[in-house]
């Protein structure tokens, strides 16, 4: 019988679903690096908060990176257009549609700051996780990560 492997502290990365945003490449990760990647359009915290809380229940998270990127698809759509289409499809649910989080980004750095603020405001996220969170913008053209202060 062997001893269980020591637990590694994990890094959680919340980033965009875009195929051009590949943390394994821009962070030069190795296969055995202890990284969990959580994706959604834009790389926002709000849609993935429950996943983050689940990760936090079964691994030790030492770093939390929120990474948005240049030329993100969320800068090219309009929440108003999506809401109008949804209201045509389901007209009796307008209030619910108006409350939906759709993740449009108008200002990339402000979006990262807003996601950090959302994380810090959440009563469900423990303080140590809030303290280790950092925000970045990944530039698709240069391959550089730029830190964004919260
Ligand atoms: Zn994107």
pLDDT value of residue 6: 57
Residue 132 burial (10 A CB sphere; 0-12, 13-18, 19+): middle
Q: Residue 72 and residue 79: Cα distance in Å, rounded? A: 14
Ranges of each domain in the chain: 9-76+104-148
| CATH fit for domain 9-76+104-148, picks 3.40.1050.10, 3.40.50.460, 2.60.40.10, 3.20.20.150 | 3.40.1050.10
Say whether 139 counts as a known binding-site residue: no
63, pLDDT greater than 70: yes
Q: How many angstroms is it from 57 CA to the middle of ligand 1?
A: 27
Q: How confident is the model at residue 3 (pLDDT cuts 50, 70, 90)?
A: low
33, pLDDT greater than 90: no
38 in Cβ contact with 12 (< 8 Å): yes
> Terminus-to-terminus CA distance in the chain, angstroms?
47
Q: How confident is the model at residue 54 (pLDDT cuts 50, 70, 90)?
A: very high
- CA contacts within 13 A on the Cβ side of 120: 12
What does DSSP say about strands 145-148 and 60-69: parallel, antiparallel, or unpaired? unpaired
1, pLDDT greater than 90: no
Q: How many angstroms is it from 79 CA to the middle of ligand 1?
A: 15
């Amino acid at each position: 019988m062997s001893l269980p492997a020591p637990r590694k502290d994990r890094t959680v990365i919340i980033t965009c679903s875009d195929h051009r945003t590949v943390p394994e490449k821009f962070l030069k990760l190795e296969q055995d690096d202890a990284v969990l990647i959580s994706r959604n359009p834009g790389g926002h915290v709000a849609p993935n908060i429950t996943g983050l809380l689940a990760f936090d229940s079964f691994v030790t998270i030492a770093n939390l990176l929120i990474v948005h990127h240049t030329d993100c698809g969320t800068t090219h759509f309009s929440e108003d257009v999506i809401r109008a289409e949804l209201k045509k499809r389901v007209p009796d649910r307008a209030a619910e549609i108006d409350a939906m989080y759709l993740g449009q980004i108008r200002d990339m750095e402000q979006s990262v700051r807003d996601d950090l603020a959302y994380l810090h405001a959440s009563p469900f996220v423990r303080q140590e996780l809030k303290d280790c969170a950092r925000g970045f913008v990944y530039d698709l053209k240069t391959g550089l990560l730029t830190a964004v202060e919260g």
